[in-house]
């Protein structure tokens, strides 16, 4: 989800800076931080036309044309933003075709026009469901800091109605093998492998839990991720014997299907916090590792503080997610 945009000269001099989405109310240092990142790579930008830079807090997506450079700033990673940056710059170039960067530096009227073009272009492009989910996770994690201080201007969300029916799944079951390797793939961010190889272990309830969790993660990505259909995921969830795991997975599934259900999963985590933590602590067992995957992401500091030392230097995907959540909770 784009929160800011900058139009610069190809040499890195800002022409227009625009706040697009003020979600957290903390935007004063946004462009200073972005400029610091841009300045640190400007020599590389000039040589190789860098398209993507990841900073400690933000993701920057670059587009170039002639004397101009456009940067989209996002708080969540979204590969689609490279394409979006190109589309926005294309629209901007239509209004600046008779200007060079130096003539725009002090032309307030043109700067305002460019800012409006940028915002109009961005509103035509909806964020991916993964971006919306990540932002919602961040909002949940930081809910305490918002309480009593500001209201989030989120309008009513309307989903297309969708009815799920159980789908028959034919798999060749190998037996109750160790699912730890596939859990490790999940924690490393390889959800496709976790979803594609767990069906062979479906005699194990843990494998069914892991499959459903991985498939749900894949469904939050853009369509080219080729995620398992939700009807199939629903079938597997209904076959999960572990009551708590089944409820958590069903709550996560409902996020895709029914407005107003986003907080159900966090409520379940709150109600079963002690049990979840005890299960996660047995991380050296398959069950503990699966429950770690099942409980994440979460805004509950108690779970994060248990998970962080357990993973140590492993699982870069999880470590990055935990770091992002902890930075919000501070």
DSSP letter string, 57-105 = S-EEEEEEETTEEEEEEESS--TTHHHHHHHHHHHHHHHHTT--HHHHT
Do residues 278 and 292 lie in contact, with contact meaning Cβ atoms separated by under 8 Å?
A: no
3-state secondary structure of 282: coil
Measured CA to CA in angstroms, residue 182 lies from 192, 194, 221, 247 at distances of: 10, 5, 20, 22
User: What is the predicted pLDDT for the residue at 162?
Assistant: 43
Output the average pLDDT for the chain. Answer: 76
Q: How far apart are CA 330 and CA 327, in angstroms?
A: 5
Q: Which residues pair with 65 in a beta bridge?
A: 68
Contacts for 50 with CB less than 8 Å, ≥ 6 apart: 41, 44, 62
User: What is the predicted pLDDT for the residue at 301?
Assistant: 87
User: What is the predicted pLDDT for the residue at 46?
Assistant: 65
Q: Which residues pair with 16 in a beta bridge?
A: 7
First to last CA, the chain: 22
Peptide bond preceding 297 in cis form (omega within 30 of 0): yes
Domain boundaries, the chain: 2-127, 131-329
pTM of the model: 0.50
pLDDT in tens, 178-236: 688 888 888 888 999 998 888 878 788 899 999 999 999 998 887 667 888 888 888 88
**% of the chain beyond a pLDDT of 90:** 20
Mean pLDDT of 146-154: 43
User: What is the predicted pLDDT for the residue at 324?
Assistant: 63
Q: Supply angle C-alpha 245, 247, 248, rounded to 5.
A: 65
Residue 158 above 50 pLDDT? no
Q: Supply angle C-alpha 305, 311, 316, rounded to 5.
A: 110
Lowest average pLDDT, out of 90-104, 149-163, 226-240, 277-291, goes to: 149-163
User: What is the predicted pLDDT for the residue at 30?
Assistant: 55
Q: How far apart are CA 40 and CA 42, in angstroms?
A: 6
User: What is the predicted pLDDT for the residue at 47?
Assistant: 66
Q: How far apart are CA 31 and CA 12, in angstroms?
A: 13
Give the best-scoring range by mean pLDDT among 12-16, 248-252, 316-320: 248-252
Of 166 and 271, which is predicted with more confidence? 271
Mean pLDDT of 285-290: 86
- What are the φ and ψ backbone dihedral angles of 39, each rounded to 5 degrees? -65, -35
Q: How far apart are CA 36 and CA 30, in angstroms?
A: 10
User: What is the predicted pLDDT for the residue at 296?
Assistant: 87
Q: How far apart are CA 256 and CA 220, in angstroms?
A: 8
Mean pLDDT of 90-110: 90
- Decide which of 1.10.730.10, 3.40.50.1370, 3.40.50.10880, 3.30.450.60 is the CATH code for 2-127: 3.30.450.60
Q: How far apart are CA 44 and CA 11, in angstroms?
A: 11
Q: Supply angle C-alpha 195, 189, 214, rounded to 5.
A: 30
Q: State the CB neighbour count (10 A cutoff) for residue 297.
A: 19
User: What is the predicted pLDDT for the residue at 151?
Assistant: 42
66 pLDDT band (50/70/90 cuts)? confident
13 pLDDT band (50/70/90 cuts)? confident
Q: Report the candidate in 268, 24, 5 with the shortest Cα–Cα distance to residue 135.
A: 24
DSSP letter string, 1-16 = -EEEEEEEETTS-EEE
Lowest average pLDDT, out of 8-22, 102-116, 284-298, goes to: 8-22
User: What is the predicted pLDDT for the residue at 125?
Assistant: 64
The H-or-E segment that residue 238 falls in is helix 230-239
Residue 277 above 90 pLDDT? yes
Mean pLDDT of 18-27: 57
């Amino acid at each position: 989800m784009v929160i800011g945009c900058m139009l610069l000269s190809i040499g890195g001099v800002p022409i227009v800076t625009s706040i697009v989405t003020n979600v957290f109310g903390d935007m004063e240092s946004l462009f200073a931080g972005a400029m610091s990142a841009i300045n640190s790579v400007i020599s590389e930008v000039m040589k190789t036309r860098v398209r993507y830079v990841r900073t400690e807090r933000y993701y920057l997506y670059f587009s170039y044309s002639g004397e101009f450079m456009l940067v989209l700033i996002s708080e969540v990673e979204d590969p689609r933003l490279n394409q979006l940056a190109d589309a926005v710059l294309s629209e901007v170039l239509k209004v600046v075709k008779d200007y060079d960067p130096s003539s725009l530096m002090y032309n307030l009227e043109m700067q305002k026009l460019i800012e409006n073009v940028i915002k109009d272009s961005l509103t035509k492009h909806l964020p991916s469901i993964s971006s919306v989910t990540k932002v919602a996770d961040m909002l949940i994690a930081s809910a305490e800091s918002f309480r009593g201080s500001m209201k989030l201007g989120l309008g009513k969300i309307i989903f297309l109605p969708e009815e799920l029916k159980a789908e028959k799944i034919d798999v060749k079951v190998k037996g109750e093998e160790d699912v730890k390797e596939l859990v490790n793939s999940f924690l490393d961010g390889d959800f496709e492998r976790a979803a594609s190889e767990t069906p062979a272990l479906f005699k194990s309830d843990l494998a069914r839990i892991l499959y459903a969790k991985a498939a749900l993660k894949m469904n939050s990505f853009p369509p080219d991720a080729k995620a398992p259909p939700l009807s199939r995921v629903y079938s597997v969830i209904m076959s999960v014997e572990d009551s708590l795991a089944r409820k958590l997975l069903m709550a996560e599934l409902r996020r895709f299907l029914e407005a107003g259900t986003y907080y159900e999963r966090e409520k379940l985590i709150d109600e079963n916090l002690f049990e979840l933590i005890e299960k996660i602590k047995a991380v050296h067992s398959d069950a503990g590792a699966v429950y770690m995957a099942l409980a994440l992401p979460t805004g509950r500091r108690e779970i994060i503080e248990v998970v962080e030392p357990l993973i140590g230097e492993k699982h870069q995907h999880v470590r990055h997610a935990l770091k992002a959540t902890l930075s919000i909770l501070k």
